[in-house]
Amino acid sequence: MTTDSANASKVGAWPSPPHATLLGATPANIERCAKALVQGQLVAFPTETVFGLGAAVNQAEAVAGIFKAKGRPADHPLIAHASPGFDWADGWIQFNHSTQQQQFEALTRAFWPGPLTLVLPKGSRMPSQVTGGQDSVGIRCPSHSVAKALLCAAGVPVAAPSANRFGKVSPTRAVHVMAELGDRIPWVLDGDIPEVGIESTIVSLLEKSPRILRPGAITAQQLGEVLGQPVEGFIKSSALQNNPRVSGALEKHYSPDAKVRVITALGLGEFTPVGSTLCVGWGDAFLTRADALRTRHPHVMVEALGNSPNEVAKNLYATLRQADELNCSQVLFEQPGIGEEWEGVADRLKRASA
C-alpha cells in the first residue's frame, strides 16, 4: 500500500517507516475501506467506544494479521461487529435455548446500536479463528456513524479488537492508531471522537443468568431493568478473575509507559512527587490539592477531566497517552467514585496501575 505523505505529515511521527494511509470519513473513503475489508485487508476505524482494528471474519489471512499487528496471543477471542439489522442468527450465532434468545432480543432492542457486546454460542459460519478456538463468540453493533456506514457497506461481520498493541492503552483518536500501528496496517479511517471512550460492556449469555465479563458504560442495573432480573455488578462478581480468555482480565493491561497510581484527594495532599508528574482529577478537592502541589513543584502538571463517570471515561485513555507524550514518569489519577457507573473507569485504572 502506498503512503499518503500529505496525511502522514499531518499526524506526526511514528516509530517505523509509515505505512498506513489516514483517510477522512467521506462516503467515498468509507466505500474504499469497506472494499478493502472485503478483499482481505486490515482497516482501523472509529467506534463510539475506542478505535477498532478490523478484518472481515471470513478472510483468514486478514484475521491472522490482526493478531500479528497487535502482538496478541492467537487464543484471545475477537469481537465480531456488524451494522444494525444484520441477521446474526443466519449461521453466525446460535441459541441453545429460548431464554437465551429472549435475552438476546431484549438486550439488542434496548442497547444496539451501542457499547454492548454479547457472548453467545457461535454458529457454524463464524470461523473459530475469530473466537480463539472457543465455541462462543462476542458480537457487537456499534453506534458510531462511521462504523455503522463501514459495516453496512462491508456486509459481512468484521472482527475488531481495539487498535492498539497488546497490553497498551486503547486508542480514542486516529493519530493514536497511526502512532501504534501505522507501520503495520494499510488503512486508518478517521471520524468523530468516540463518545464513550472505554471499551464496550461485555455480557455473557451462555448461562441462565447473564454475567458481566467486562464493565463499561452500560451498567448492571440498566441490564437488569431490561431483562427483568437482577444482574450482578462487575466488582461484586468474580467473573473476570475466573476467565483467562478475556484479555482485559489480565492484571496489567491498558498501560502507558508512565507509572499510574490511583490516589484519593486526601492522599494527594500528603504526597511528595518525585519526577515529572501528571495529576488527573475530576473532583474539586482533588484538583485544588493538585494545583497547590503544582505551585510547590514545577515538574507537576494538572489535567482536569469532566465531573461525571462518562466524561472521565471519554477522556481517560487520551489522558494516559498524554502522560507519555509529556514524558511524565508518573500519573496520579484521582480514585473513581463509588457506584456502578464508575465500574468501567475503576476497572481500567486498576489494570493500568497494576
Provide the binding-site residues for Mg ion, judged by CB under 5 A.
162
Residue 49 touches ligand TXA, criterion: CB under 6 A: yes
Among residues 180 and 341, whose Cβ is nearest to Mg ion? Answer: 180
Closest approach of Mg ion to the CB of residue 72, in Å: 8
Among residues 303 and 347, whose Cβ is nearest to ligand TXA? Answer: 347
Closest approach of ligand TXA to the CB of residue 26, in Å: 21
Among residues 213 and 258, whose Cβ is nearest to ligand TXA? Answer: 213
What burial class does residue 191 get, using C-beta atoms within 10 Å of its C-beta: 0-12 exposed, 13-18 middle, 19+ buried? buried
Closest approach of ligand TXA to the CB of residue 7, in Å: 22
**The dihedral sign for the CA sequence 59, 174, 70, 123:** negative
Closest approach of Mg ion to the CB of residue 293, in Å: 33
Binding mask 235-274 for ligand TXA (x = CB under 6 A): ----------xxxx--------------------------
Partner from ligand TXA, Mg ion, none binding residue 200, C-beta < 5-8 Å depending on class: ligand TXA
SS3 breakdown of the chain: % helix, strand, coil, rounded to 5?
35, 20, 45
Closest approach of Mg ion to the CB of residue 166, in Å: 8
Q: What does the alpha-carbon distance between residue 132 and residue 114 come to, in Å, rounded to a whole number?
A: 24
Closest approach of ligand TXA to the CB of residue 19, in Å: 21
Partner from Mg ion, ligand TXA, none binding residue 322, C-beta < 5-8 Å depending on class: none
Contact 103, 227 (CB under 8 A): yes
**The dihedral sign for the CA sequence 266, 272, 274, 276:** positive
Binding mask 187-206 for ligand TXA (x = CB under 6 A): ------------xx-x----
Among residues 49 and 322, whose Cβ is nearest to Mg ion? Answer: 49
Contact 267, 311 (CB under 8 A): no
Sequence-ordered list of residues with C-beta below 8 angstroms from that of 236, at least 6 positions apart, any chain:
none
Name which of residues 128 to 167 contact ligand TXA (CB under 6 A): 131, 134, 136-138, 140, 160-162
Q: What does the alpha-carbon distance between residue 220 and residue 235 come to, in Å, rounded to a whole number?
A: 10
Q: Helix axis angle, 309-325 relative to 174-181, nearest 10°?
A: 40
Partner from ligand TXA, Mg ion, none binding residue 139, C-beta < 5-8 Å depending on class: none
Contacts with ligand TXA by CB under 6 A: the residue count is: 27
Name which of residues 21 to 40 contact ligand TXA (CB under 6 A): none
Q: Helix axis angle, 27-38 relative to 145-154, nearest 10°?
A: 50
For residue 110, which amino acid is it?
A
Q: Helix axis angle, 98-111 relative to 220-227, nearest 10°?
A: 120
Binding mask 286-325 for ligand TXA (x = CB under 6 A): ----------------------------------------
Q: What is the three-class DSSP state of 6?
A: helix
Q: What is the three-class DSSP state of 81?
A: strand
Q: Which residues bind ligand TXA (CB under 6 A)?
A: 47, 49-50, 52, 76-79, 117, 119, 131, 134, 136-138, 140, 160-162, 199-200, 202, 213, 245-248
